[in-house]
Structure 1
Amino acid sequence: MVKLPKIYHPKTCSPVLQFFNQAGWRFLFAPVDIAILVYVRIAFGGIMLWEVWRYFDKGWIARYWIDPILNFPYFGFEWFHPWPGQGMYLHFIGLGILASFIALGFWYRASTVLFFLGFTYMFLLEKARYLNHFYLICLISFLLIFIPAHRAFSIDAWRRPGMRTSTAPAWTLWLLRIQIGIPYFYGGLAKINGDWLQGEPMRMWMAERMDFPLIGSLFTQEWMVYFLSYGGLLLDVLVVPFLVWRRTRVYAFGASLVFHLMNVQLFNIGIFPWFMIAATAIFFSPDWPRRLVKQRSCDRNQAPPARLTPRHRLILTLLGIYLFLQLVLPFRHYLYPGDANWTEEGHRFAWHMKLRDKNTDIRFVITNKLDGTVSHLDPDDFMPRWQVRKMAARPDMILQLSHIIAEDVGGADQDSIEVRAEALASLNGREKQLLIDPTVDLSKEHQSLLPADWILPLETPLNE
């Protein structure tokens, strides 16, 4: 038998290696109180039901998916289209029913699968409606498919007593904690950029909100601008470690609570602050929901599995793949040249939240090569303002619209049409400059994941 060198001997390797080689997986399969998963299920279902109601109440279903004459689906999903007629209303009714089923734990597995598919379909229909919390909802609804949050305090558990349990494997809780922690941490990393560290666009935003109660008059003070900019950065980066550490958990939760409640008052970001407040509570002890209703804590003295089974290995492998993708994907913007806040390449799905203020004027120049005629098209003439505002600042959407224009104008003779864009954009208060090369026929450019050489680099310095 070959004797291993001492440095590699299990008994003498580092504590970190011992943890992962011997006990780390046991920790992930140790039992935790299922009450925390029940809380997640009820909170998620309840907030999603509220969100569906908001879309009906504010008329957003028609505004975003029925009234527009065109949509901007994501790359690879161009074949996605809104349901015809009243179909989108029925779709949202279905999402509301599924959200209530999830909260009640009724047909939980089927409800989570269908909700994930239905919400993700709606999300992928329109780039102009990209919201970081919509992306997060897609991810959480996907994870809930595999998390047994219905095995206690649910209609399913009432109908099938044999499935009831008071505990769940620890990996289910830690997976959710990591997923919630990622937007915080990566949102903080994204703030480490020149503009944010110089107080922009926070300075611009605060100057428009001086009517804020009590402290609004301070918003134009330089110290307040930097306090909010650097305070937001530090909170995003540090809140998760402080939530994990028991001694600082209450203070970290309090800081995040103040942060999100201020966002409710300062910015129009929908359910996101409320969703994150509810989600941040999962960092407390898993039995806190049970203690809240004065119910006796469950028996968690069950021992973790003694050895790694094929099922455990499969779970660990899938967890590793999923988390690897979640940790790496937000960095893909480094594969593209330039500032992602300007080019938008790699900006989505990277947790770049409330980082930039972009103002763009755009018109399209259409040339008919057959007769040499040149015409100009203002997208405000046929698109709603909310859609134009997003499209004009995002080069990939400008490219999509250029193809739509060429197809509409040229018909069967589309190759005879050239479409160029004249887009003047301002980032974080800079003087406006060209965003797109106005000499490039965008109707002949193809959308891809590669860098686009027709996007002009940001050359205008930040205003002093």
Structure 2
Amino acid sequence: MNSFLFKKIDNAQLVVFRVFYGLLVSAECYGAIATGWVRRTLVEPKFTFNFIGFDWLQPLPGNGMYIYFAIMGTLGVLITLGYKYRFSALTFAIMWTGVYLMQKTSYNNHYYLLMLLGYIMAFLPANRDYSLDAKHNPSFRSTTMHNWVRWMIILQLFIVYTYASIAKLYNDWLDLSIIELLMKSKADYYVIGDLLQQKWVHQIVAVFGIVYDLLVVPALLWKPTRKLFLYLSFFFHLFNSIVFQIGIFPYLALAFIVFFFPPKSIRSTFLKRKSEHVDNTPEIPKHKHLILSVLSIYFLVQLLLPLRHHTFQDDVLWTEEGHRLSWRMMLRSRAGTLRMQVIDKESGKMEYINLKDHLTNKQSRKVACYPDFTWQFAQYIKKEYAKNGQDVQIFVKNKVKVNSAKYIDFIDPKVDLASVPWKHFAHNDWILPSQQEE
């Protein structure tokens, strides 16, 4: 194990990935400002749905969030240049974590992956070559790294792709209904809109999605299939970028491919410098046990976290409990209707809440069909009434549909959502069973 994990290898893969990573970080952050994502998600809403337990983490007032994202974009540039790298990479990771936990209305799995990657990259020696840090301090420069660095990235990718593949092995993916539903919203796409409505296209997407995710990491590791899956990766990720418009994730996924090609190829392609001699002799670091302990704990969490939904009652597609942080990508489409009733405990006066008075359209859609959003909004309304000295009960009548299923009752209308706590590690029993009759 020592010979494998701690042998010294060429660091070209990590150095080149650092450049791609920094550029993509900048594109994500500056792009969020330019496209209006920051405005729509963090500036305009009166109320922001943070991850439960992080209520104290709120968007900065005024132009604060624009400045916040501009700083993160600039940190991406510094990461690319390898300038004050450790500080730049760690500061970005912390700031991105703040954004991630601050809002979940616009949730994407790649936001979570970018958070994990931010901390991973901050502690890897990605600035030891082709960086301003190495230029300013020649004694710092190195063309080698430990083998565990490369395999940490590869194992993280293997977990992401494997869980994504396994999650697709369920009825709505296999019978194409969720794919058909997802493609309907793409019907007006120029040139390819009509093509995306064809059943044979849906069949290819269904099979390719499962097989590619399951095989891509082993196939890129195996030399005979490496080039084939390089081409398939470009097709797969560019298709996802064009059709689903999911930000930097497809390009980040392509950047990871540098870890699967020999350092000699990476150096000659991107760095225009011949590989220096590396004798692969193991070099055991002083903190070997600390490194192994941290890696073991981290990957144990990464392996178990996507399985936690099996410990909850009912189907995760229905309850949403355990869905996030588990690489369950493009598996469901939810819709719902909701009426929120507020009753003053003292006077008995009753009134209904107009969601549009408090929320954006996107937030309203989330509140209507995602249980944590509904519960959080009830807590928000409770606090708003408390400002006027009123103690209230809040009841909800709503129906929810998942994918192409029928609308059925979702939240128990007899439960006062203002008084029940949110359970992080157990089923919230005010979510009605998925098998009940309409």
Q: TM-score range by the shorter chain?
A: over 0.9
Over 3 Å counting, the alpha-carbon distance change for 1:84 and 1:216 in structure 2 is: closer
Q: Pick from 253, 258, 279: which aligns with 1:301? A: 279
The aligned counterpart of 2:297 is: 321
> What's the TM-score, normalizing by structure 1?
0.89
The question of 1:423 aligning with 2:401 is answered no
Q: Provide the residue aligned with 1:209 in structure 2.
A: 186
CA separation in 2, counterparts of 1:105 and 1:294?
Answer: 18
Shift of 1:371: 2.0
In the TM superposition, what is the alpha-carbon distance from 1:221 to its structure 2 partner? 4.2
The correspondence for 1:369, drawn from 345, 368, 391, is: 345
- Give the aligned CA root-mean-square deviation in angstroms: 1.9
2:150 maps to 1:173: yes
Q: How many residues end up aligned between the 2 structures?
A: 435
In 1, are the aligned partners of 2:264 and 2:274 still within 8 Å (CA)?
no
* 3-state SS, counterpart of residue 9 of structure 2: strand
Query: Which of these residues, 102, 110, 117, is aligned with residue 140 of structure 1?
Result: 117
* Farther off after superposition, 127-136 or 221-230: 221-230
Residues 36 and 288 of structure 1 are in contact (CA less than 8 Å); yes or no, is this contact kept in structure 2?
Answer: no
1:87 CA displacement: 1.7
Quote the offset at 1:248 in angstroms. Answer: 0.9
Give the deviation of 1:219 after TM superposition. Answer: 4.1
Structure 1, unaligned runs of 5 or more: 1-23
TM superposition shift of 1:120: 0.6
> Alpha-carbon deviation of 1:43?
0.5
Partner Cα distance (2:181, 2:340) in 1:
29
The equivalent residue for 2:106 is 129
SS in 2 for 1:127: coil
Give unmatched runs, 5+ long, in structure 2: none
Shift of 1:413: 4.5
Residue identity over aligned pairs, in percent, reads 34
Classify 1:423/1:281 alpha carbon distance in 2 versus 1 (closer, same or farther; 3 Å). farther
Aligned residue number for residue 331 of structure 1: 307
SS in 1 for 2:321: coil
1:143 Cα offset (Å): 0.4
Match of 2:318 among 342, 346, 363: 342
- Write the mapping of 1:1-400 to structure 2, written as runs, cut at 5 A: 24-210=1-187, 217-292=194-269, 293-305=271-283, 310-400=286-376
Alpha-carbon distance, 1:342 to partner: 1.5
How much has 1:280 moved relative to structure 2?
Answer: 2.9
Answer yes or no: is the 8 Å Cα contact 2:309–2:321 preserved in 1. Answer: yes
Deviation digits for residues 53-92 of structure 1 (CA, Å, limit 9, x no counterpart) = 2122122222211211111111221211112222212211
Aligned residue number for residue 10 of structure 1? none
1:105-159, Cα deviation, whole Å (9 max, x unpaired): 0000111111111111111101212211111111111001110000100000000
1:445 aligns with 2:420: yes
**Cα deviation code 1:362-416 (max 9, x no counterpart):** 22111122222221113123211122223322101110110111111233645x3
1:129 counterpart SS class: coil
The amino acid of 1:126's aligned partner reads Q
Quote the offset at 1:459 in angstroms: 2.5
Secondary structure of the equivalent of 2:399? Answer: strand
Partner letter of residue 304 of structure 1?
Answer: P
Q: What is the one-letter code of the residue matched to 1:360?
A: G
Counterparts of 1:276 and 1:318 in 2: how far apart (Å)? 25
How far apart, CA to CA, are the structure 1 residues paired with 2:183 and 2:105?
A: 25
Contact kept, 8 Å, 2:16 with 2:258, in 1: the verdict is no
Of 145-154 and 87-96, more deviation after overlay is shown by 87-96
Partners in 2 of 1:192 and 1:25 — Cα distance?
A: 38
How many angstroms apart in 1 are the aligned matches of 2:196 and 2:435? 29
- Number of the residue aligned with 1:11: none
How many angstroms does 1:355 deviate by? Answer: 0.6
Q: Which has the larger radius of gyration?
A: 1
Aligned equivalents of 2:258 and 2:414: distance in 1?
A: 53
Q: Provide the secondary structure at the position in 2 that maps to 1:444.
A: coil
Q: Indicate conservation of the 8 Å contact 2:75/2:88, yes or no.
A: yes
Question: What code does the residue aligned with 2:74 have?
Answer: I
2-structure distance, mates of 1:309, 1:276: 30
- Residue identity matched to 1:356: R
Q: Is the 8 A contact 1:430 1:460 kept in 2?
A: no
2:394 is paired with a residue whose SS is: strand
Residue type at the aligned position of 1:233? I
Kindly indicate whether the alpha-carbon contact (under 8 Å) linking 1:209 and 1:216 is maintained by their aligned counterparts in 2.
yes
**Contact residue 12 and residue 267 of structure 2 kept, 8 A:** yes
The residue identity in structure 1 corresponding to 2:352 is H
Q: Is the 8 A contact 1:357 1:428 kept in 2?
A: yes
TM superposition score normalised by structure 2: 0.94
Q: Distance in 2 between matches of 1:175 and 1:156?
A: 24
Would you say the 8 A contact 1:128–1:391 is kept in 2?
A: no
Matched, 1:408 2:384: yes
1:81 is aligned with what amino acid?
Answer: Q
Distance across 2 between alignment mates of 1:460 and 1:277: 44
Q: 1:404 to 1:220 in 2, by over 3 A?
A: same
Q: For 1:259-285, what per-residue CA distance to the aligned partner results, in whole angstroms no more than 9, with x for missing partners?
A: 111112211312211221222332222
